[in-house]
Structure 1
Amino acid sequence: MYVDLSRNFVDDSISPIDFMTRFLAEFKNERRFFDERTGDVLNALFYAAEEFVDHPSTRPNVVGELQLRAAARNLLEFVKAQNDQ
């Protein structure tokens, strides 16, 4: 779920608001346990999604679309690296 959602966001198939809403809903209902490295990547994405502001120019020191997209891309790169091992 997280990978598909992140891929759709990085590929511009869904908006940042849609990504944030869907990711947070999934993450908050997550019942699985992840290893430490996977958990760190997912937590970083969670914090970026939770702090995301659609119009960052209205507030200083917040996560904008570029930072949220970078966090989603980090998850995809992490998964790819795990699959390449």
Structure 2
Amino acid sequence: MDTLGVGGRLSAKLFIEEGHQVEFGTLSVDTLLTDDETWREVKPEAIVGGFDAVLQSHFLTEDGQLVHSEALHRELKAGRSVLR
């Protein structure tokens, strides 16, 4: 539960991580947005915070912190874009 496991290479143009366990062989993402500073050990240029730059505002608090993850997941499962 709440674990993303990729046996080989995890690749994406934009990877948004918000507190879940992620396991992968290698990481190949252009932009990594996270709320966890420790990701900088894996990808030094990871953006910690900054969700407000890419996500629609109704998923965020006023200070740009991701808070409505259930709503975010519902939109994604329905195939709707959550990006600005």
Q: Provide TM-score, normalisation by structure 1.
A: 0.32
Q: Provide TM-score, normalisation by structure 2.
A: 0.32
Higher relative contact order (CA 8 A, sep 6+): 1
Q: Identify the structure with the greater strand proportion.
A: 2
Q: Identify the structure with the greater helix proportion.
A: 1
